[in-house]
Chain A
Amino acid sequence: QKEVEQDPGPLSVPEGAIVSLNCTYSNSAFQYFMWYRQYSRKGPELLMYTYSSGNKEDGRFTAQVDKSSKYISLFIRDSQPSDSATYLCAMKKGGTSYGKLTFGQGTILTVHP
């Protein structure tokens, strides 16, 4: 069993739709939770970064973390064609020397006009 599971999709939605992306994890040592966006032939770029359970909002993006269920989500409101990309969830254990990110498989999202 993989430590982080993410539905690879692909997911295709019309412009303006609300998109929901999810990941589950098995390792309770994970303390930091991230969502990255990766455009084709580019490196991942950080979208959202959360530490504790709860919600975090940044513009059209909302990240949710539920540590009790080992489940994280990313919501995109009013989706745009420019949001078309692969979305990767990533997690990291605590500790000052620890840096390794454990990624999900990535979900391919297409937003069509």
Chain B
Amino acid sequence: EAGVAQSPRYKIIEKRQSVAFWCNPISGHATLYWYQQILGQGPKLLIQFQNNGVVDDSQLPKDRFSAERLKGVDSTLKIQPAKLEDSAVYLCASSLDAGPYEQYFGPGTRLTVT
């Protein structure tokens, strides 16, 4: 079974530029998550999708971050404009459904904002 795919793996941008990350979840998984992991910290949930609807985006900085999940499969996370404090690893995870189901994580995209 293929795992969660993410691209790019690494990205370096200057502050105030924009950037987009892509995630392809495990086939058949209804729930998709984006987490932000700052160096030395545990991941923090940014947004949770159930199929193509948003369930939880309470910790998403909506003035600069946006996310979508088209057709309930792939998802993109965008930052515009980026700030220095956005430097982090962005992890995508998916699960069969919400609730008690196990979440499978992708390898992450490491973003450096200079």
Contacts and interface: CB of A to CB of B under 8 A. Distances in A.
A43 B108 contact: yes
Interface string A87-113: 010101011111111111110000000
Given A43-B107, A43-B108, A45-B105, A97 B99 contact: yes
B42 A104 contact: yes
A94 B43 CA distance: 19
B99 A99 contact: yes
Contacts of A97: 50, 55, 98-99
Contacts of B103: 46, 99, 101
Interface of B: 4, 31, 33, 35, 40-45, 48, 50, 55-56, 91, 93, 95, 97-108, 110
Given A43-B91, A99-B55, 15 more contacts: A42-B107, A43-B106, A46-B102, A46-B103, A51-B100, A88-B43, A92-B100, A99-B103, A100-B45, A101-B33, A101-B45, A103-B42, A105-B40, A105-B41, A106-B41
